[in-house]
Structure 1
Amino acid sequence: MHTDVLRNQNELRNNLRSHYDFIVCGAGSSGCVIAARLAERENIRVLLLEAGGDDTAPSVMEPAQWPVNLGSERDWSFMGQPAPSLNGRRLPLSMGKGLGGGSSINVMVWSRGHKEDWDYFAAKSGDPEWGYKSVLEYYRRIEDWQGTPDPARRGKGGPAYVAQPSSPQPIAQTMVDAAGLLGIPVFDSPNGRMMECTGGAAIADLRIKDGKRQSVFRSYTYKAMHQPNLTVLTGALVSSLIFDGNKAVGVEVMLDGKIRQFRATCETILSLGAVNTPKVLMQSGIGPEDELNRHGIKVRQHLPGVGQNHQDHIAFGCTWEYRKPEDVGGGGCEATVYWKSNSRLQQPDILQCQLEFPVPSPAEAELETPEHGWTMFAGLAQPKSRGRLRLSGPTMYDNMLIEPNALSAPEDVTAALAAVELCREIGNHSAFTPLVRGETAPRSRNHAGLVEFVRNSAVTYWHQSCTAKMGLDRMSVVDARLRVYGIENLRIADASIMPRITTGNTMAPCVVIGERAADMILAAHDTQLAAGIKQQRPDPS
C-alpha cells in the first residue's frame, strides 16, 4: 500500500471514534463498494470492518496463484455437513476472508447474471428498479470495458476494469470453436447479448490488468483510503449488533484481542457474506425463533427466513490429458459456455467454466488426474436444491452448521447429467485432437455410473448465496430497499439478499448490490446530509 494510505489508516486506527455515521461490516465485493461510495461525501464518517487481513500477498495479486489461497488464512474455510445426496460427503465451502473478500481470491471471472435473473429479482421484491433494464445502467456506471464497444450494455471509464485475455491459450479458443461446431452460438463476450438469450460460448471477461488482479477492494475502497473520513479496520471480527429497542445502533467487535463497541449514527450495513451475515443476525436475536431459543438467544425479531434458502453453483470436473504441457493464461479460466439442459427453459441452467490445468477429483470419485491436462467444470447455473444454515452455539466462536443439500432435488441430478454429457461432447470433439491425448474423467459410463460420478465428484464454485433473501413473502429477510424487516437502521447488502442465485460467477452481481445499496442509503439520508450530518452526532469525537 502507498505510504500516504498506510500513514492515514494507522492514524485513524490509533484514534478510533466511538461513533461513525455509517458502519459497513465486511470488505467483500458489496461492502467495499458501499464504503467507497459513502466516503465520496466528505462530511460522512465511514467505518469499514473486516475480519481478515490485507491483500498484499503475492497469492492475491498474481492471478495464477489463486488456488494457493484456498484453505489459507485468506479463506474462511467453511465445511458443509455430511450430505446424503452426495453419498455422505462434506463439501469444502471456501469464502474470501480479507480486504476484497472473494474478489481477492477468486478466478476473476466477470459475469453479470442473465436478464431473467434480474427480472426475477424485480418480481420477487416488487421493485422494477431491480430489473434488468435498471441493472444495465448500473453496469454502465461500474465498468471500464476494454473490449468491443457496446454502448447499450457496456460501460467505459468506471471503476471496474474488465477485459478479455489479449491472447487466449489455444485450449480456450479451441473450446469456444468446438462449442460453435456443435451448434452453440458463439459471442464476442459472455456479458452482452449472450446473457439476454438462450446462452452461448465466449472467451471470458476477466478482472486482470497488466497481469495483476483487480479486486473490488482495489477498484473502489483503496482509492479512498487516504481520506480522513474512511476508516478501514482489518482483524475486526463482528460479534453482534447493538440495539436500542428494535433500532440497530452499532456493533460489538473483537479487535486486537479486546471487545470494542462502535455506534452508527445513521445505519449499520451487514455485508459479511451468505454465512456470516445470517450468523450475526441470529446471534443478535434476529432469525427463526425456534433456532434462537435452542441456543438461549433472546428473540428480538422473529424472521424464519434467516439462514434458509441456501444456494450455490455445483460443478463436476471433466478432465482431458494434454499431448504435451500447455501454458496457463491469466488465472487459468479464459473461456466459458452457458447452455440449457432443456429447450423449454427461459434461460441457461448449465454453466461450463474451463480451467487450463487438471483439477483433481474428490477422492471418492476414484479417478486418476493427469500430470498435464485441462478441466471443464460442468456446473448447475440454476440449481433447484435448497440448503440451510443453523447455529452450533450462541457466540462468535461457534461455527455455523451449513447444510448445502446439493443434488437433493431430482431436477438437479437430471441437469447435472446433461451438463456432464455436454462437456464430454465438446471436449471430445475432433477440434481438440492436436492438443489433447484423451479424456480421463468421467469417461464413458452407463446411467447409474454417471449418477455416481456426479454425486461423488460434485464440488462448488464457492458462490454461496440467498440466505437472507429479499422479497415480500414470510420467508424474506429484507425488503426491496435491503432493510431488515422489523429492525430500524439495519440493511444487508451482499449475496445473502439474492432471492435466487444468479447465472454465473457472483462477483459482478455483488458489485451491483453494493452500488444499489449505496444509492438507497444516500437517498434515505439526504435530509440529514443536506443539514450537515455532523449536527446529528451524539459526541464530538
Structure 2
Amino acid sequence: MSDSCEYIICGGGTVGCVLACRLSHAGHSVLIVEAGPEDYNEQIMSPVAAPHLHGTQFKYNMMTVEQPGLGGRSVPNHGGKLLSGSSGINYGLWTRGHSVDYDAWAELVGDNRWSYKNMLKYFKATQTHYDPNGSPEKYGFSGPITTTAAARTYPLRETIRESMLVAGLEYNPDTNGGSPFGFGPFTENWKDAQRQPASKAYDLSKATVLTNKAIARIELNESKTATGIVLIDGTRYAATKEVLVTCGALKTPQLLMLSGIGPQSHLAQHNIPTIANLPVGENYHDKISATFFWKLKNPEKGYALGSPAFNKPEFRHGNPMEWVATISTPHEELVKAAQADNLDLRDPYLQEPRGNVEVMIAYAPIAGGGSEFRVPFDGKHISSPVVLLLPTSRGSITLASTDPTADPVLNPNYLGTETDRAAMRAGMRLSLQIMEADIASGIVEGETPLPGYEPLTSACSDSDLDRRMQIVGSSFFQNAGTAAMGTVVDTQ
C-alpha cells in the first residue's frame, strides 16, 4: 500500500468504520488502523456469547483505580480491541436516548445541529426498524443496522409486565422514539440471530484496512496540523487531508496525550512536549450498575437460563430480557441532592424530567463486572440490573507511562456525587417494588443477598442502598467525556 492517503482514521471501532465507509465510497483514499484483529468467529457473532469475551484478546481489559464510591474497590472496565470495536463484543442493546439530552447538549455547545430534531435524520439513516408499521417520522427502514424487539416470548413475559404496571410504571411501546419514560420492549441490534459488527454493516472494501497495528503517536507540523501517524514499529503514514481519531473514550485521550495534546502539567510529568494545552482525559464518566438476584420458587418450570426446561432455540437469539424501564429521580430528592452537590438550580439537568436510571429484568443471574458476588447459572435465579444513565460524577484518564501499549490510568470517580447516589437509590427501589408486586412474589421466594447481609426491601433506608452499591456497584462499560465537545474539540 501507499504510505500516503487523504484520510487516516486512528481506531477501527464503530465510528471509525462508519467514517471509513462513507469517505471511501465518496471517492477518497482512506487508511483505517486498528490495534486489534479482524475476527468474526462464532463466539463474536453469537448474540449470547458476550459474557464469555471478557478477558479475551478482543478487549482492552483494564482496571480502574480504587473507587471510594465503591467501597475502595478497583473494578474492571472494557473496550473493544478488534475491527468493529465495541460493536464486536458488546451486549447489543439498542438505545437512541432521550430527546431532552440532545437538546441540552446542543444548547451547552451553542450549536443547534446537535439537537434531537436535527440529529433525527442520522438516527433514521442508521437503522432498519424492527416494526415495518412504525412511524417513518421517528424511524428508518433501510439503514445498515437491523433492530429487533420482543422477538422472543419467555415464560415470565406477562408476569414481569404486570409487575411493572403494579409498581406504577406506564407502558411505553415507543421507548426509542425520543421519550424513554415508562417501560417498553427491550430493543437489540441482532440480524438473523447474529451480531452486526460495524465492519460488516459498513462496507470497507474501498478503504485500506490495517489490523493488529498499534499507533504510537500522531505527527503534527509547526502550525499544529496533523500530518500523519507513526506506528509502534516506526512505520509512518502521511495524511494529505486529515487525521481522524476514533479510538473510543478510553484510548483516544491516551493517543492524544502521547502526541502532545493534553493538560500541560500532566504531559510534563512524562517529559512530553505540549503542542496543545487542552483538558484531554478530564470530564471522564461512565455508567454504573447494581444488580439484585431473585430466587425462584419453581425453577423446574424453566423460568431462567440454566434450567433444562429453558430450552427454546430462539432463546439463544439474544439477551434473556424482554422489558426495560426508564425513570427520573423524584424531583424533591433530585433537588435535595443537587443542593448537596452545589449544583446550580438553573442547570438544565434540574429543569424537566430526565431519564436518570434504567431497570431491566433478566431471566438469568446477570451481574456487572467488578462485583465478586455471583450466583450460579443453574436456572434458580433471575436478576434485576439497575443502571445509572446520566452520571454527574466526573473523573479522569491519565497516562501511566509513555508506552502506547500500556493501559492508561482510569479514575471514573463512580458515585462521587449525591445526585448520582439519589438516582441509583430511585432505580434500586423501583427494582425492589417490581419484584414485591403480588404477581411477582408468586414466582420468587425473595432477594438473595450477599452472604452475611439481610435481603433488602423497597422500604429499606438510603444507607442500606448506598452500602449495597458500594459492594456490588460495577461499570456498565459506557465510557464518555474524555475529549469533550466544547472543551477539547469544537462542534465541527
Q: Same fold (TM over 0.5)?
A: yes
Matched, 1:28 2:2: no
Equivalent of residue 433 in structure 2, options 425, 436, 443 = 425
Q: Distance in 2 between matches of 1:171 and 1:47?
A: 49
Q: Distance in 1 between matches of 2:277 and 2:94?
A: 36
Match of residue 192 from structure 2: 210
Root-mean-square deviation (CA, aligned residues, Å) is: 2.0
Matched, 1:138 2:115: no
**Structure 1 159/368 Cα, relative in aligned 2: closer, same or farther at 3 Å?**
closer
What are the Cα deviations for residues 100-130 of structure 1, in whole angstroms up to 9, with x where unaligned? 1111111111101111111122112211010
Structure 1, gaps ≥5 residues long: 1-15, 482-541
Deviation at 1:359, TM superposition (A): 2.5
Equivalent of residue 354 in structure 1, options 358, 361, 370 = 361
Contact 1:24 1:268 in 2 (8 A): yes
Contact 1:107 1:333 in 2 (8 A): no
Contact 1:107 1:332 in 2 (8 A): no
- What is the DSSP-based 3-state SS (H/G/I as helix, E as strand, rest coil) of the residue aligned with 1:412? helix
What are the Cα deviations for residues 452-485 of structure 1, in whole angstroms up to 9, with x where unaligned? 11111101110011111001xxxx000001xxxx
Match of residue 339 from structure 2: none
Matched, 1:336 2:324: yes
Deviation at 1:252, TM superposition (A): 1.0
- What is the DSSP-based 3-state SS (H/G/I as helix, E as strand, rest coil) of the residue aligned with 1:30? helix
Match of residue 224 from structure 1: 204
What is the TM-score normalised by the length of structure 2?
A: 0.87
Match of residue 242 from structure 1: 219
Match of residue 450 from structure 1: 465
Deviation at 1:403, TM superposition (A): 0.6
Contact 2:80 2:88 in 1 (8 A): yes
Matched, 1:158 2:153: no
- What is the DSSP-based 3-state SS (H/G/I as helix, E as strand, rest coil) of the residue aligned with 2:107? helix
Match of residue 186 from structure 1: 171
Matched, 1:105 2:120: no
Percent identical? 27
What are the Cα deviations for residues 476-532 of structure 1, in whole angstroms up to 9, with x where unaligned? 000001xxxxxxxxxxxxxxxxxxxxxxxxxxxxxxxxxxxxxxxxxxxxxxxxxxx
**Structure 1 169/132 Cα, relative in aligned 2: closer, same or farther at 3 Å?**
same
Deviation at 1:449, TM superposition (A): 2.8
What are the Cα deviations for residues 260-313 of structure 1, in whole angstroms up to 9, with x where unaligned? 11111110111101111000111110010000001100011111x200011111
Match of residue 338 from structure 2: none
> Aligned AA for 1:459?
S
What are the Cα deviations for residues 384-412 of structure 1, in whole angstroms up to 9, with x where unaligned? 11111111112213321111110111222
Moved more, 18-27 or 319-328: 319-328
Match of residue 253 from structure 1: 231
What are the Cα deviations for residues 396-451 of structure 1, in whole angstroms up to 9, with x where unaligned? 13321111110111222222222111101112322334543432147225443322
Match of residue 246 from structure 2: 271
Q: Distance in 2 between matches of 1:21 and 1:353?
A: 45
What is the TM-score normalised by the length of structure 1?
A: 0.79
**Structure 1 310/216 Cα, relative in aligned 2: closer, same or farther at 3 Å?**
same
Q: Distance in 2 between matches of 1:143 and 1:100?
A: 17
Contact 2:6 2:30 in 1 (8 A): yes
Contact 1:200 1:337 in 2 (8 A): yes
Deviation at 1:377, TM superposition (A): 1.2
Q: Distance in 1 between matches of 2:183 and 2:287?
A: 18
**Structure 1 295/338 Cα, relative in aligned 2: closer, same or farther at 3 Å?**
same
Contact 2:96 2:178 in 1 (8 A): no
Q: Distance in 2 between matches of 1:37 and 1:362?
A: 35
The within-5 A match list for 1:327-476 is 327=310, 328=315, 330-343=318-331, 345-360=352-367, 371-372=378-379, 373-433=381-441, 435-441=443-449, 443-444=455-456, 445-471=460-486, 476=487
Deviation at 1:367, TM superposition (A): 6.8
Q: Distance in 1 between matches of 2:69 and 2:178?
A: 36
Q: Distance in 1 between matches of 2:282 and 2:204?
A: 36
Matched, 1:321 2:295: yes
Q: Distance in 2 between matches of 1:420 and 1:98?
A: 35
Q: Distance in 1 between matches of 2:201 and 2:209?
A: 15
- What is the DSSP-based 3-state SS (H/G/I as helix, E as strand, rest coil) of the residue aligned with 2:35? coil
Q: Distance in 1 between matches of 2:248 and 2:213?
A: 15
Structure 2, gaps ≥5 residues long: 305-309, 333-351
Contact 1:144 1:158 in 2 (8 A): yes
**Structure 1 166/396 Cα, relative in aligned 2: closer, same or farther at 3 Å?**
same
Match of residue 479 from structure 1: 490
> Aligned AA for 2:478?
H
> Aligned AA for 1:69?
L
Q: Distance in 1 between matches of 2:359 and 2:286?
A: 15
Contact 1:407 1:455 in 2 (8 A): no
**Structure 1 297/341 Cα, relative in aligned 2: closer, same or farther at 3 Å?**
same
Moved more, 426-435 or 210-219: 426-435
Q: Distance in 2 between matches of 1:447 and 1:292?
A: 41
What are the Cα deviations for residues 231-275 of structure 1, in whole angstroms up to 9, with x where unaligned? 111101111001111110011123xxx321111111011110111
Deviation at 1:366, TM superposition (A): 5.6
Contact 1:389 1:403 in 2 (8 A): yes
> Aligned AA for 2:242?
E
Match of residue 19 from structure 1: 4
Match of residue 513 from structure 1: none
**Structure 1 120/361 Cα, relative in aligned 2: closer, same or farther at 3 Å?**
closer
Matched, 1:307 2:286: no
Q: Distance in 2 between matches of 1:272 and 1:166?
A: 33
Q: Distance in 2 between matches of 1:317 and 1:121?
A: 30
The aligned length equals: 449
**Structure 1 183/367 Cα, relative in aligned 2: closer, same or farther at 3 Å?**
same
Contact 2:99 2:179 in 1 (8 A): no
Match of residue 336 from structure 2: none
Moved more, 208-217 or 320-329: 320-329
Deviation at 1:215, TM superposition (A): 2.2
- What is the DSSP-based 3-state SS (H/G/I as helix, E as strand, rest coil) of the residue aligned with 2:120? helix
Give every structure 1 segment of 4 or more consecutive aligned residues whose post-TM-superposition deviation is greater than 6 Å: 361-365
Matched, 1:149 2:134: yes
Contact 2:367 2:385 in 1 (8 A): no
Match of residue 510 from structure 1: none
